[in-house]
Amino acid sequence: LATTKRNSKFLQFDSGPGNDRLLIFSSVDQLQLLDNCEELLVDGTFKVTPTVFYQLYTMHVAYRNAVIPAVFALLPNKNQQTYQRLINELAELCPLWNPKSIMMESQIHNDGF
């Protein structure tokens, strides 16, 4: 999962082994869409997550009248600190990233975003 079928980087960040491990997956093209997006849609799910992680967190961008997946992150928990780590790492990967609107599930919003 570290590279795409076209052999480009897909695993953009790995915090390393441990109980608070964070993985961020995205292609270069997806990161470019994220970097330039004005509308961001985010959601987390727990049902399809590998057992060593707690949550699969996804970010989608609105682009040309479509919603396109841009980021897939495996998170160890749903603490505010973890979401902040995710945002900080994405800000490093996408220095121009500054969406005008973010739509999210209220449970996630209340838990940390």
Model confidence pLDDT, tens digit, residues 28-38: 999 999 999 98
Q: How far apart are CA 110 and CA 54, in angstroms?
A: 17
- In this predicted structure, the answer to whether residue 39 has a pLDDT above a threshold of 50 is yes
Predicted local confidence at residue 5, as pLDDT? 82
Cα–Cα distance, 85 to 21 (Å, whole number): 11
- φ/ψ region of 107 (left if φ > 0, alpha if ψ in -120 to 50, else beta) reads alpha
If pLDDT is split at 50, 70 and 90, which confidence band does 113 have?
Answer: very low
Q: Write the Ramachandran bin of 92: left for phi over 0, alpha for psi from -120 to 50, otherwise beta.
A: alpha
Placement of tokens 């390393």 in the chain:
16
pTM: 0.84
Question: Where in the chain are the domains?
Answer: 11-100
